[in-house]
Amino acid sequence: MIARPDLSPAFRDLPPPLVVIGMHRSGTSLAAAMLSDMGVYMGPASGALDGIPDEQSRRDGYAEADAFRDLNEELLAAAGASWSRPEPFLQRRDEPEFAQACLLRMTLEIRGPRFAGYVAGLPAAGAAPWGWKDPRTTLTFPLWAQLFPEARVVHLRRDPERTAASLHARAQVWAAGPIPVPGAAARVRWALRHPLAAAAELGRRLGWLPLPPTEADPCMELEYCRRLCRRYVSEAERYRFLNERYLELRYEELLENPAACARNLAAFAGLSAGPERLERALRRVSAARVK
Protein backbone atom coordinates (compact mmCIF):
# COMPACT_ATOMS: atom_id res chain seq x y z
CA MET A 1 0.00 0.00 0.00
CA ILE A 2 1.22 3.53 -0.78
CA ALA A 3 -0.23 6.99 -0.29
CA ARG A 4 -4.02 7.40 -0.57
CA PRO A 5 -5.05 7.99 -4.21
CA ASP A 6 -6.92 11.18 -3.28
CA LEU A 7 -3.89 12.70 -1.57
CA SER A 8 -1.98 14.50 -4.33
CA PRO A 9 -0.67 13.56 -7.77
CA ALA A 10 2.83 14.59 -6.65
CA PHE A 11 2.88 11.96 -3.89
CA ARG A 12 0.57 9.34 -5.37
CA ASP A 13 3.09 7.04 -7.04
CA LEU A 14 6.01 7.57 -4.68
CA PRO A 15 7.19 4.97 -2.18
CA PRO A 16 6.11 5.50 1.44
CA PRO A 17 7.90 8.40 3.18
CA LEU A 18 10.64 8.12 5.78
CA VAL A 19 9.76 10.32 8.77
CA VAL A 20 12.34 11.35 11.38
CA ILE A 21 10.81 12.03 14.79
CA GLY A 22 11.95 12.45 18.38
CA MET A 23 12.21 15.03 21.10
CA HIS A 24 13.65 18.41 20.18
CA ARG A 25 17.42 18.53 20.80
CA SER A 26 17.72 14.75 20.58
CA GLY A 27 19.60 14.37 17.28
CA THR A 28 16.80 14.45 14.71
CA SER A 29 18.60 17.08 12.63
CA LEU A 30 21.78 15.04 12.51
CA ALA A 31 19.97 11.86 11.47
CA ALA A 32 17.96 13.69 8.81
CA ALA A 33 21.05 15.33 7.36
CA MET A 34 22.84 11.97 7.25
CA LEU A 35 19.89 10.47 5.39
CA SER A 36 19.97 13.38 2.96
CA ASP A 37 23.69 12.89 2.41
CA MET A 38 23.10 9.22 1.61
CA GLY A 39 20.35 9.90 -0.94
CA VAL A 40 17.01 10.44 0.82
CA TYR A 41 15.16 13.54 -0.33
CA MET A 42 14.29 15.35 2.91
CA GLY A 43 13.15 18.61 1.35
CA PRO A 44 14.71 21.46 -0.63
CA ALA A 45 16.59 22.85 2.39
CA SER A 46 18.41 19.60 2.99
CA GLY A 47 19.19 19.11 -0.67
CA ALA A 48 20.69 22.61 -0.92
CA LEU A 49 23.20 22.06 1.85
CA ASP A 50 26.77 21.87 0.64
CA GLY A 51 29.28 20.95 3.28
CA ILE A 52 28.94 20.90 7.04
CA PRO A 53 26.46 23.33 8.59
CA ASP A 54 27.71 25.80 11.16
CA GLU A 55 26.52 26.11 14.76
CA GLN A 56 23.69 28.46 13.85
CA SER A 57 22.42 26.01 11.24
CA ARG A 58 22.46 23.20 13.78
CA ARG A 59 20.63 25.38 16.29
CA ASP A 60 17.96 26.27 13.72
CA GLY A 61 17.37 22.65 12.75
CA TYR A 62 18.86 21.97 9.32
CA ALA A 63 17.46 19.32 6.96
CA GLU A 64 13.97 20.32 8.08
CA ALA A 65 11.21 20.71 5.48
CA ASP A 66 9.51 24.04 6.20
CA ALA A 67 6.18 23.05 4.66
CA PHE A 68 5.72 20.03 6.94
CA ARG A 69 6.93 21.89 10.00
CA ASP A 70 4.67 24.89 9.43
CA LEU A 71 1.64 22.68 8.82
CA ASN A 72 2.41 20.71 11.98
CA GLU A 73 2.53 23.96 13.92
CA GLU A 74 -0.90 24.90 12.60
CA LEU A 75 -2.37 21.52 13.48
CA LEU A 76 -1.16 21.95 17.05
CA ALA A 77 -2.43 25.53 17.16
CA ALA A 78 -5.88 24.37 16.01
CA ALA A 79 -6.21 22.69 19.41
CA GLY A 80 -4.68 25.61 21.31
CA ALA A 81 -1.38 23.76 21.62
CA SER A 82 2.22 24.20 20.52
CA TRP A 83 5.32 22.02 20.34
CA SER A 84 6.22 23.02 23.92
CA ARG A 85 2.64 22.75 25.21
CA PRO A 86 1.35 19.64 23.43
CA GLU A 87 -1.31 18.44 25.87
CA PRO A 88 -4.33 20.29 24.38
CA PHE A 89 -3.57 18.71 21.00
CA LEU A 90 -2.98 15.24 22.41
CA GLN A 91 -6.29 15.41 24.25
CA ARG A 92 -8.15 16.15 20.99
CA ARG A 93 -6.07 14.26 18.44
CA ASP A 94 -8.28 11.17 18.42
CA GLU A 95 -11.61 13.00 18.46
CA PRO A 96 -13.27 12.05 15.14
CA GLU A 97 -14.45 15.54 14.21
CA PHE A 98 -11.15 17.19 15.10
CA ALA A 99 -9.13 14.51 13.31
CA GLN A 100 -11.28 14.82 10.18
CA ALA A 101 -10.89 18.60 10.15
CA CYS A 102 -7.12 18.20 10.45
CA LEU A 103 -6.99 15.62 7.66
CA LEU A 104 -9.02 17.84 5.35
CA ARG A 105 -6.69 20.74 6.01
CA MET A 106 -3.62 18.56 5.44
CA THR A 107 -4.96 17.20 2.16
CA LEU A 108 -5.78 20.68 0.86
CA GLU A 109 -2.47 22.17 1.98
CA ILE A 110 -0.41 19.42 0.37
CA ARG A 111 -2.15 20.14 -2.91
CA GLY A 112 -1.62 23.89 -2.58
CA PRO A 113 1.19 26.43 -3.03
CA ARG A 114 2.64 25.91 0.46
CA PHE A 115 4.15 22.58 -0.64
CA ALA A 116 5.19 23.73 -4.13
CA GLY A 117 8.84 24.11 -3.17
CA TYR A 118 8.96 20.72 -1.52
CA VAL A 119 7.13 18.98 -4.37
CA ALA A 120 9.42 20.56 -6.99
CA GLY A 121 12.36 18.59 -5.65
CA LEU A 122 10.62 15.24 -5.22
CA PRO A 123 12.31 12.34 -7.00
CA ALA A 124 10.60 10.56 -9.86
CA ALA A 125 8.35 7.72 -8.80
CA GLY A 126 10.49 4.89 -7.50
CA ALA A 127 13.73 6.78 -8.17
CA ALA A 128 14.75 7.50 -4.59
CA PRO A 129 13.35 7.45 -1.06
CA TRP A 130 11.92 10.65 0.38
CA GLY A 131 10.60 11.99 3.65
CA TRP A 132 10.83 14.79 6.17
CA LYS A 133 12.10 15.60 9.62
CA ASP A 134 10.22 17.55 12.24
CA PRO A 135 10.08 16.73 15.96
CA ARG A 136 6.45 17.93 15.98
CA THR A 137 5.56 14.91 13.84
CA THR A 138 6.14 12.89 17.01
CA LEU A 139 2.78 14.33 18.07
CA THR A 140 0.99 14.51 14.72
CA PHE A 141 2.13 11.21 13.18
CA PRO A 142 -1.22 9.41 13.74
CA LEU A 143 -2.74 11.96 11.35
CA TRP A 144 0.04 11.70 8.79
CA ALA A 145 -0.23 7.91 8.95
CA GLN A 146 -3.76 8.19 7.60
CA LEU A 147 -2.43 9.99 4.54
CA PHE A 148 0.67 7.79 4.23
CA PRO A 149 -0.37 4.47 5.78
CA GLU A 150 2.93 2.72 4.96
CA ALA A 151 5.18 5.49 6.28
CA ARG A 152 8.39 4.45 8.03
CA VAL A 153 9.60 6.09 11.23
CA VAL A 154 13.11 6.82 12.50
CA HIS A 155 12.93 7.70 16.20
CA LEU A 156 15.95 9.51 17.65
CA ARG A 157 16.57 9.32 21.37
CA ARG A 158 19.12 11.04 23.57
CA ASP A 159 20.01 10.92 27.24
CA PRO A 160 16.99 12.66 28.83
CA GLU A 161 19.03 14.85 31.17
CA ARG A 162 21.21 16.12 28.32
CA THR A 163 18.15 16.67 26.15
CA ALA A 164 16.38 18.65 28.86
CA ALA A 165 19.51 20.70 29.59
CA SER A 166 19.95 21.51 25.89
CA LEU A 167 16.30 22.51 25.56
CA HIS A 168 16.53 24.67 28.67
CA ALA A 169 19.68 26.38 27.39
CA ARG A 170 18.06 27.09 24.02
CA ALA A 171 15.01 28.63 25.72
CA GLN A 172 17.32 31.03 27.55
CA VAL A 173 18.97 32.03 24.26
CA TRP A 174 15.60 32.56 22.60
CA ALA A 175 14.36 34.64 25.53
CA ALA A 176 17.14 37.15 24.86
CA GLY A 177 15.91 37.76 21.29
CA PRO A 178 13.11 40.11 20.16
CA ILE A 179 11.16 37.46 18.23
CA PRO A 180 10.63 33.96 19.68
CA VAL A 181 11.85 32.20 16.52
CA PRO A 182 15.46 30.99 16.21
CA GLY A 183 17.68 31.97 13.31
CA ALA A 184 17.62 34.74 10.74
CA ALA A 185 15.89 32.65 8.06
CA ALA A 186 13.18 31.57 10.49
CA ARG A 187 12.66 35.19 11.57
CA VAL A 188 12.10 36.20 7.95
CA ARG A 189 9.57 33.40 7.49
CA TRP A 190 7.81 34.48 10.69
CA ALA A 191 7.64 38.09 9.50
CA LEU A 192 6.26 37.11 6.10
CA ARG A 193 3.56 34.97 7.68
CA HIS A 194 2.69 37.60 10.30
CA PRO A 195 3.37 41.05 8.76
CA LEU A 196 1.22 43.01 11.23
CA ALA A 197 2.82 41.31 14.22
CA ALA A 198 6.27 41.87 12.71
CA ALA A 199 5.51 45.58 12.22
CA ALA A 200 4.32 45.83 15.81
CA GLU A 201 7.47 44.05 17.00
CA LEU A 202 9.61 46.52 15.10
CA GLY A 203 7.67 49.39 16.62
CA ARG A 204 8.25 48.04 20.13
CA ARG A 205 11.96 47.55 19.45
CA LEU A 206 12.21 51.18 18.33
CA GLY A 207 10.27 52.36 21.37
CA TRP A 208 7.22 53.51 19.43
CA LEU A 209 4.84 51.01 21.03
CA PRO A 210 4.58 49.64 24.57
CA LEU A 211 5.64 46.08 25.24
CA PRO A 212 2.62 43.76 25.60
CA PRO A 213 2.35 41.11 28.29
CA THR A 214 3.87 37.86 27.05
CA GLU A 215 3.32 34.27 28.08
CA ALA A 216 6.43 32.81 29.67
CA ASP A 217 8.20 30.05 27.78
CA PRO A 218 7.63 26.90 29.88
CA CYS A 219 11.03 25.59 28.78
CA MET A 220 12.65 28.26 30.93
CA GLU A 221 12.02 25.76 33.74
CA LEU A 222 14.38 22.79 33.65
CA GLU A 223 11.92 20.44 35.34
CA TYR A 224 9.32 21.27 32.71
CA CYS A 225 11.87 20.37 30.02
CA ARG A 226 12.31 16.99 31.69
CA ARG A 227 8.56 16.33 31.68
CA LEU A 228 8.23 17.48 28.08
CA CYS A 229 11.04 15.17 27.05
CA ARG A 230 9.32 12.21 28.71
CA ARG A 231 6.09 13.07 26.94
CA TYR A 232 7.69 13.14 23.50
CA VAL A 233 9.54 9.89 24.09
CA SER A 234 6.34 8.25 25.30
CA GLU A 235 4.52 9.39 22.17
CA ALA A 236 7.30 8.15 19.88
CA GLU A 237 7.40 4.76 21.58
CA ARG A 238 3.73 4.28 20.67
CA TYR A 239 4.83 3.68 17.08
CA ARG A 240 6.87 0.59 17.92
CA PHE A 241 3.89 -1.42 16.74
CA LEU A 242 5.03 -0.57 13.20
CA ASN A 243 7.70 -3.27 13.72
CA GLU A 244 9.96 -3.37 10.65
CA ARG A 245 8.78 0.14 9.70
CA TYR A 246 10.12 1.58 12.97
CA LEU A 247 13.80 2.23 13.70
CA GLU A 248 15.01 3.56 17.03
CA LEU A 249 18.46 5.12 17.24
CA ARG A 250 20.27 6.77 20.10
CA TYR A 251 22.09 10.04 19.53
CA GLU A 252 24.99 8.83 21.67
CA GLU A 253 25.34 5.77 19.44
CA LEU A 254 25.41 7.99 16.36
CA LEU A 255 28.39 9.81 17.83
CA GLU A 256 30.20 6.73 19.15
CA ASN A 257 29.68 4.37 16.21
CA PRO A 258 28.68 6.51 13.24
CA ALA A 259 29.65 4.07 10.48
CA ALA A 260 27.44 1.29 11.83
CA CYS A 261 24.55 3.71 12.40
CA ALA A 262 24.91 5.15 8.91
CA ARG A 263 24.75 1.67 7.41
CA ASN A 264 21.73 0.91 9.59
CA LEU A 265 19.99 4.07 8.40
CA ALA A 266 20.84 3.32 4.78
CA ALA A 267 19.47 -0.22 5.04
CA PHE A 268 16.28 1.01 6.71
CA ALA A 269 15.80 3.57 3.92
CA GLY A 270 16.46 0.97 1.24
CA LEU A 271 19.63 2.69 0.09
CA SER A 272 22.89 1.28 -1.19
CA ALA A 273 25.00 4.27 -0.20
CA GLY A 274 28.41 4.25 -1.87
CA PRO A 275 31.67 5.22 -0.14
CA GLU A 276 31.41 8.89 -1.14
CA ARG A 277 27.90 9.34 0.23
CA LEU A 278 28.77 7.40 3.36
CA GLU A 279 31.85 9.54 3.94
CA ARG A 280 29.81 12.73 3.68
CA ALA A 281 27.34 11.38 6.25
CA LEU A 282 30.22 10.58 8.59
CA ARG A 283 31.54 14.12 8.21
CA ARG A 284 28.19 15.32 9.60
CA VAL A 285 28.86 13.33 12.73
CA SER A 286 32.37 14.73 13.05
CA ALA A 287 30.93 18.24 12.97
CA ALA A 288 28.31 17.34 15.58
CA ARG A 289 30.99 16.11 17.98
CA VAL A 290 32.46 19.61 18.26
CA LYS A 291 29.04 21.13 19.03
**35 closest CA partner among 152, 144, 126:** 152
For 98-155, write each residue's pLDDT tens digit.
Answer: 999 999 999 999 988 888 888 888 877 667 799 999 999 999 999 999 999 999 999 9
CA-CA distances (angstroms) from residue 104 to 113, 170, 273? Answer: 16, 34, 37
Which pLDDT value is given to residue 4? 58
8 A C-beta contact, residue 269 and residue 40: yes
Q: Where residue 2 falls among pLDDT bands split at 50, 70, 90?
A: very low
Residue 1 pLDDT > 60:
no
4 or 288, higher pLDDT: 288
Residues 6+ apart with CB under 8 A from 30: 156, 251, 254, 284, 285, 288
3-state secondary structure of 153: strand
CATH number corresponding to 9-160+240-289: 3.40.50
Give dist(CA 285, CA 236) in Å, integer. Answer: 23
Contact of 128 with 41, CB cutoff 8 Å: yes
- Judged against a pLDDT cut of 60, whether residue 5 lies above it is answered with no
* Mean per-residue pLDDT, 183-198: 56
3-state secondary structure of 23: coil
Strands (E), the chain: 18-22, 131-133, 152-157, 246-250
Q: Is the pLDDT of residue 267 over 90?
A: yes
Alpha-carbon span 74 to 85, nearest angstrom:
13
Q: In angstroms, how far apart are the furthest CA atoms of the chain? A: 58
pTM of the model: 0.82
What is the structure's pLDDT at 182? 46
- DSSP type of residue 15: P
- pLDDT band of residue 60 (cuts 50, 70, 90) is very low
Strands 152-157 and 18-22: parallel
Weakest-pLDDT range from 51-65, 92-106, 143-157: 51-65
pLDDT at res. 17: 94
Q: Which residue has the higher pLDDT, 193 or 102?
A: 102
Phi-psi region of 126 (alpha: psi -120 to 50; beta: other; left: phi over 0): left
How far apart, in whole angstroms, are the C-alpha atoms of residue 10 and residue 285? 32
Mean pLDDT, the chain, whole residue set: 83
User: CA–CA separation, 121 vs 169, rounded Å?
Assistant: 35
Confidence of residue 185 (pLDDT cuts 50, 70, 90): low
More confident residue, 61 or 224: 224
Helices 28-37 and 258-269 cross at an angle (nearest 10°) of 70
Per-residue pLDDT of 167-176, as tens digits, reads 999 898 877 7
Give me the helix-helix angle, 275-289 and 28-37, nearest 10°.
160
Residue from 252, 86, 257, 254 nearest 162 by CA? 252
Tell me the average pLDDT across 198-218.
63
How far CA 10 is from CA of 17, 26, 163, in Å, comes to 13, 31, 36
Which candidate, 136, 147, 137, places its Cα nearest to that of 103? 147
